[in-house]
């Protein structure tokens, strides 16, 4: 359904993004932010899913500044490689990869209002984007690793946010989710009987029930804020 195109950030850096077009006139656009595994088959299928719901979906390669062509699986070795790449991107001078997300949002805006959804590390980037990227109308982080820390929780989003977490996520302790909810009463927080990565049907942590409910809620949220 989709294809890779090249986008250019404000600093002149060019990077690929996977773009999936809806069959009819788009109702809006959704920027899909990858996990630590690259714009792999799962992230492409997520983008295809949003396109099937009528949105122009754009998934920028947020690793491209440190390593091009990343497409990892979910083995322990892949996990280590992905974490090292994430660490390298996080070490980039500000605004780092947020300017690539900004370029994706600006490209997506041709379809109307733009929402952003991200998973794992992409969830954290989505949370940061809700405060620092312009042109967004809604943001939905899924189990954003690190976003419940005091430092990240201090962010003030500029757009409506819905956040999804698992209550058995060993990366995001439940007490930090509760603290995040208290710090951000304006954020619609949902907690599921699941672990980390529950949306990914290629991982052992996949939880079909949680993934289905979170997707229904996300689509309703986007319908409300994007059209």
| Nearest residue to 117 via CA among 37, 58, 54 | 58
Catalytic residue among 42, 100, 120, 200: 120
Catalytic residue list contains 196? yes
Catalytic residue list contains 120? yes
| Separation between Cα atoms, residue 136 and residue 26, nearest integer Å | 16
Catalytic residue among 48, 169, 200, 225: 169
> What is the signed CA dihedral for 88, 90, 93, 96, rounded to 10 degrees?
110
Catalytic residue list contains 169? yes
Answer whether 60's CB lies under 8 Å from 118's CB.
Answer: no
Q: Give the strand pairing for 14-20 and 55-60.
A: antiparallel
Spatial neighbors of 79 by CB under 8 A, at least 6 apart, are 36
| Separation between Cα atoms, residue 36 and residue 129, nearest integer Å | 17
Q: Give the strand pairing for 136-142 and 55-60.
A: unpaired
Catalytic residue among 42, 196, 200, 225: 196
Q: Give the strand pairing for 136-142 and 114-119.
A: parallel
Catalytic residue annotation? 120, 169, 196
């Amino acid at each position: 359904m989709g294809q890779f195109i090249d986008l250019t950030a404000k600093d002149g850096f060019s990077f690929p993004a996977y773009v999936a077009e809806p069959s009819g006139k788009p109702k809006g656009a959704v920027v899909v932010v990858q996990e630590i595994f690259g714009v792999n088959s799962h992230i492409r299928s997520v983008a295809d899913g949003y396109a099937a719901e009528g949105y122009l979906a754009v998934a920028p390669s947020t690793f491209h500044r440190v390593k091009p062509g990343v497409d990892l699986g979910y083995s322990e070795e892949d996990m280590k490689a992905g974490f090292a790449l994430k660490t390298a991107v996080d070490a980039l001078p500000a605004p780092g990869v947020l300017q690539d997300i900004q370029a994706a949002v600006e490209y997506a805006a041709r379809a109307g209002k733009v929402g952003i959804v991200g998973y794992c590390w992409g969830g954290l980037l989505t949370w940061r984007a809700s405060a620092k990227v312009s042109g967004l109308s809604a943001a939905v982080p899924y189990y954003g690793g690190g976003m419940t820390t005091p430092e990240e929780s201090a962010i003030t989003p500029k757009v409506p946010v819905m956040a999804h977490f698992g209550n058995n996520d060993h990366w995001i302790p439940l007490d930090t989710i509760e603290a995040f909810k208290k710090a951000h009463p304006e954020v619609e927080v949902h907690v599921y009987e699941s672990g980390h990565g529950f949306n990914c049907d290629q991982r052992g942590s996949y939880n079909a029930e949680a993934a289905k409910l979170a997707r229904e809620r996300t689509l309703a949220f986007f319908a409300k804020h994007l059209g």
